[in-house]
Structures are given as C-alpha cells and as structure tokens.
Amino acid sequence: MTLSKLSMLLLALAPMTGPVRAQPTGASAEADARQEPGDSFYCGERRLGQWFYCSRPQAIEKQALDTPQASATDRMAAITKELDELKAKAILEPTEANVIAYVRFQREQLDRASTFSDTWQRALWQNPDLDYTLQRPVSTVGKRAWLDNRKADRDAVLTNLGQRYGLFYFYAQSCGACDIFGPILRSVADSHHIAVMAVSMDGGPNREFPNYTVDTGQRARMGVPGNETPALVLFDTATRHTVPVGFGILSADEIMDRIFMLTNTKVGSDY
C-alpha cells in the first residue's frame, strides 16, 4: 500500500473517531461528578441535565427534612378545631354536602377513638402492673370474692378495735333520724365489743344508750363541726385524737367500712 493510499484511509476514518473533548472544569466538573452512572448519554454527551434529574436534588431533600413536625397536642387541637368548624357549618348551612362532611369527619374520629380504646384494653391484659382491676375487680365474680375477703379482714380488725378505740355518739331526743340510727349503732357496738359514749345535745335521754351524758362543750373541744345529729366520732385512746366517722343515718356496713378505712388503710390505697 502506497503512502498516498494510507493517508486517504486515515482521512476516511477521522469522522468516525469524533473530536477529542476537553476535560470539564469548575461547576461543570462538579455536575458531571454527581451524574448517575446510567445517565452518561443524556447527561454527559447530550447535556440534557436541565430537563432530566442528572443528580439528586440534595437541597430540596434537606429542606424537607428540616421542616419541623407538629406535636401530637397540636395535631389533636387541629382535629378538634376542624370538627367544630364542620359542625358549625353544617348547622348554619345545613346542606347535604355540609352534613355529610361533618358526619364523615366525626366518624373518622370515632373510629380513631375506638382503636385507642381497643389498644388500651389489650395493653392492660398483657401488662398486669397496669391493670387496676386486679386490685379492685369489676367483674361480678371477682368483685364478690374481693368484697368477701375485705369483709373478713374488716371483721377481724374490728373485733380487736375496742381495745384501743371508742365511739362518741352525739344525738338529740328530738332528732327523728337518731331514733333510726340508734339501734343500728347499738348492734355494731355489741357485735364488735366497741364502747360507745352517747352525748345528748338537748339534754334528753336515749333509749339505746341509757348511760348517756349531756353535752357541756365536749363536741366543740373535740373539733366536731356543726350541730348535726346523729354524729359519730372515733376516739383513739392511745393518741387522744378524734376522727369524725360520719353524720346522719349510716347502715351497719357503712359504719364498719368507714372505721376500717380510717384506722387500717392509707389515703389513696383503696381506690
């Protein structure tokens, strides 16, 4: 092959090799560095980056992440506000669309509340330390058993209560409620051997407690409020302190329950 023919072949091949590109610099180099591997044709050779996502929009993503989320309290307040607004609109403008919008939104919140209630119940079943019904049962069988055990404990305590405590019973002969309450208190005192000192507020006698005394300021000195009768006060002979048990007509169980709670339970432990 002669030199002229070799030159002609080289000139024929020249358009197929294409021109040599200059290396990108500055911003162009950074843009090319962010190109995805599969986008070299569109983003590299054809420079279509302004029409295609040749790189991830980092600034937009960062801005979205930096946007503060509303708190649960704010979201709940927004729901309440929206519900009130839809309700008011449905009342003031009772069109079918307004009523449907209010009812539908209200139903969504009812469904949400039902889900919360169901989750609450399941959580209590699976976490006994959170289930208060284990301390105070609410089922018929459990409540009956709890009451029976409590009554046994109460009776055992009251049997020995008379060794330390006594009762002051403030009454009046003219008090009709005292005529009903007297026999009830008498039965409790006899069954549990508790001493009762009857104090007459008007000087009249008492059929159930014939060894009565007339009030000469005892009630005021004990700090028993008011002049209501009947009034029952527990007296601690060890500390010389008085504790009002109740006023008005009380049943036998109420008298025993109150005395038991006042002498053997801490505040807040029975609820």
Residue 79 shares a structural domain with residue 54: no
Q: Are strands 165-171 and 196-200 parallel, antiparallel or unpaired?
A: parallel
Residue 131 covered by a domain: no
Read off the pLDDT of each residue in 144-163 and give the average, rounded to a whole number. Answer: 84
Q: What is the CA radius of gyration of the chain?
A: 44
**φ, ψ of residue 72 in degrees (nearest 5):** -60, -35
pLDDT of residue 266: 77
Please state whether the peptide bond connecting residue 15 to the residue before it is cis, i.e. omega within 30 degrees of 0: no
Residue 86 shares a structural domain with residue 186: no
CA distances from 199 to 182, 195, 207, 211, 251 (A): 12, 13, 12, 9, 20
Read off the pLDDT of each residue in 205-210 and give the average, rounded to a whole number. Answer: 92
Residue 14 covered by a domain: no
Flag whether pLDDT at 1 surpasses 80. Answer: no
Residue 50 shares a structural domain with residue 86: no
Flag whether pLDDT at 88 surpasses 80. Answer: yes
Residue 162 shares a structural domain with residue 259: yes
Angle value at C-alpha 256, between 230 and 198, nearest 5 degrees: 35
pLDDT tier for residue 271 given thresholds of 50, 70 and 90: low
pLDDT of residue 167: 93
Read off the pLDDT of each residue in 199-210 and give the average, rounded to a whole number. Answer: 91
Residue 232 covered by a domain: yes
Q: Which of 6-20, 76-90, 134-148, 168-182 has the lowest mean pLDDT?
A: 6-20
pLDDT of residue 20: 47
Read off the pLDDT of each residue in 159-183 and give the average, rounded to a whole number. Answer: 91
Residue 176 covered by a domain: yes
pLDDT of residue 56: 57
Residue 146 shares a structural domain with residue 260: yes
Contact 184, 251 (CB under 8 A): yes
Residue 84 shares a structural domain with residue 156: no
Domains: count for the chain: 3
Share the mean pLDDT of the chain.
Answer: 81
Q: Which of 68-72, 112-116, 171-175, 199-203 has the lowest mean pLDDT?
A: 68-72
Residue 151 covered by a domain: yes
Residue 15 covered by a domain: no
Read off the pLDDT of each residue in 35-63 and give the average, rounded to a whole number. Answer: 55
Contact 209, 186 (CB under 8 A): yes
Residue 258 shares a structural domain with residue 163: yes
CATH of the domain at 254: 3.40.30.10
Range of the domain at 154: 142-264
